[in-house]
Amino acid sequence: MDGNVRFRNHISIVAERMGKGFWVVLALLVGGSLQNLNEVMELTEMGRKAGSGALLGMLGALLLLILLAVWQMIIWARTYISIDGTTLVIERNTLNRKKNTIGIGNISNVNTEQNLFEMLIGTCKIKIDTNSLSTADSTDVKIVLKKKEAEEFCRYIAQIMEDPAGRNAQKSRETTAVSGEQAVERMDLTEVHGSVEEVLRDETGAALGAMLIHGFYQASLMSVLVVVVCIAGAVMTAVESLGQGNIGKSLAELLIGGVVVAFVFLSAIWDIIKGFIQYYDFKVRRRDDKLYISYGLLKKISYTVPVDKINALKLTQSFQGRLTGRCMAEIINVGMGDNQEEKKSFLLLYDKKEKNEERIEELLPEFSGVMRQETERQPGTVWGIWLIWGVIWILLTAGGAGVAGLIWEEYRIWIIAAEILIIAVTGIALVCRYRTAGLGIGEEFLLISQGYMGRRFLAIRFGKIQYLQLKQNFLAKRWRIQKGTVHLLASASDRDQKIPYFRETVSEQLKTYILEHE
């Protein structure tokens, strides 16, 4: 930049900050007034109290909305963004003064986002996250600019991240407040890389078939079982009614059963369609030391992630994916998946393990080979701990079932069946967990495997582990086994990663590797 250039967000941020409630209340007010215009006018002319009260209430609500809009306008007018050397500054000069200063070198990723409203008016939201544990669950900075200006701004930030020393030498002599477009014009973009859109222009997006396959494999096993049970129940009911010769009743029951099945089926289909819309045209490419990721139909999202900010690689297999040898890949770093609607920080969609392994070696050679590494199962002595707690669990549930059987004698057989089912499911779950969970230690990574019917495999860089916490109860101490938790710099859902039971002798090796990579 030629000096310190301060600029504001695009004014459309006022409408976005007012939120959906503003538009809902406004629509209700306008719609209600138009539909009952004659009644309101008659009541007002007649001077009735009811009419006056209704009109005053509407005017009060409208005045409140106007005041909120004015307040948001003041916030917008008094909020400035500037770049001073290698520092991004967001300053709000209202009654509650705030100044947020962020070192650009600490930025973990920059992403852009467009919802339908922003697509219509041609703006774009920039989200910036930093390597900060205190703000890992939320976006640190949100800036709204015109789409072209947003792309240039992101490119300029990327340039500073790559050459912080050169930017430190730039000293500001004059500070001027300008528009976002003028600010972009003053940015020195002589050595920038392309925007996410330019980088991914020649990249082929995920095809319709790939998206549908991904939707099927990410669906939970429970959803599939519910659909199957509903269909089987509807068929059995219809067959039973037809066997009794009551055609009218059987048709009615079939219709009701069909409605229930259709509702459940459409709910499952919607889960697939929702994922398809959210991750439509999914693209990912690596250029130099950055990953460029883009996806979305109704809400377009683009990420630029420096590779050195990636803390871990997560490979997930659902039950059906595990049966067919398919998996999907996600990355864990600060900012990816910290919003409720962005819980999946995709790197690769569901595909054959061999194909995804090739793609990982292409996109993240730093993690190459992790898919071929094996984890060691939990020690066999873990069954002793599980069986002791299992016996306590069975005694508690059996006692509850016995009391319930005495109270509801007519349902005693069903209560006993439920207790047997609980014991069987618990036993199957423990067997599945024993066969799935494990721990591995590579030269650069800590490998953790978790799951029951499905499987989640996590490769964590030793240098990215914030700290390690180990636990031992009296039984584990007796049998010389431990479990623990590793803490990462990530959003709340990925911050704490559980380590299953492992041999006590491994803990010293684990501590040594963590200290060596600090």
Q: What pLDDT does residue 164 have?
A: 56
CA angle 162, 167, 170 (to 5 degrees): 170
| Domain boundaries of the chain, sorted by first residue | 208-278, 310-378+437-516, 382-435
Q: Which residues of 299-332 are buried (b: 16+ CB within 10 A; e: fewer)?
A: bbbbbbbbbebbbbbbbbbbbbbbeeebbbbbbb
Residue 286 pLDDT: 92
Q: Could you tell me the pLDDT band of residue 511, with boundaries at 50, 70 and 90?
A: confident
User: What pLDDT, on the 0 to 100 scale, is given for residue 458?
Assistant: 94
- Is the pLDDT reported for residue 410 higher than 90? no
Between 86 and 447, whose confidence is greater?
Answer: 447
Q: Return the pLDDT at 12.
A: 87
- Cα distances from 150 to residues 81, 125, 191, 212, in angstroms, run 13, 8, 17, 32
Q: For 101-116, write each residue's pLDDT tens digit.
A: 888 878 877 888 888 8
User: pTM for this one?
Assistant: 0.74
Per-residue pLDDT band for 173 (boundaries 50, 70, 90) equals very low
The 10s digit of each residue's pLDDT in 24-51 is 565 655 555 555 555 555 555 555 555 5
Residue 491 CA, distance from chain mean position = 9
pLDDT at 247: 52
Has residue 337 got a pLDDT over 90? no
What digits encode the pLDDT tens for the residues 125-154?
888 887 765 555 555 688 899 988 888 888
φ, ψ for residue 350, nearest 5 deg: -60, 130
In this predicted structure, the answer to whether residue 413 has a pLDDT above a threshold of 80 is yes
pLDDT digits 0-9 by tens, 254-281: 566 566 666 666 666 666 677 677 778 8
